[in-house]
Amino acid sequence: MGVSLAHAQSRYNLQAPQTETARRIYALHTEVLLICIGICVVVFAVLFYSIANTRRSHGREASNSQAIGPSSWRGRSFRSSS
């Protein structure tokens, strides 16, 4: 899989690998990059699923009363009084 990717035309304006070692390094780099992207996709999918599933399992909906902060913050100025 990786070796065939190394022989593909470069879309990133990189020089084509000239030696066997360079082709193997490029192929390894491509495989590791694809593995990392796959892991990121899986982690974010699980994250968003768990957030949505947990939120729905308790039957809660978003409250607009907390949209600007706790009630103790309302009406207070954050500016210095001096």
6 falls within a domain: yes
Decide if 10 is inside a domain: yes
Note the pTM of the prediction, 2 decimals: 0.52
Q: Which residues in 1-38 are b (16+ Cβ under 10 Å) and which e?
A: eeeeebeeeeeeeeeebeeeeebeebbeebeeeeeeee
9-41 pLDDT, tens digit per residue, is 556 667 888 999 999 999 999 999 999 999 999
Model pLDDT for residues 51-61, shown as the tens digit of each residue: 888 766 566 66
What residues make up the domain containing 48? 2-56
| In-domain check, residue 33 | yes
Angle ∠(27,33,35) on CA atoms, nearest 5: 105
- 50 in a structural domain: yes
In a domain, 23, yes or no: yes
In total, how many domains does the chain have?
1
Instruction: Give the C-alpha separation, 29 to 27, whole Å.
Output: 5
Residue with tokens 């390894």: 28
Kindly tell me if the per-residue pLDDT of 6 is higher than 60.
no
Q: Is residue 78 assigned to a domain?
A: no
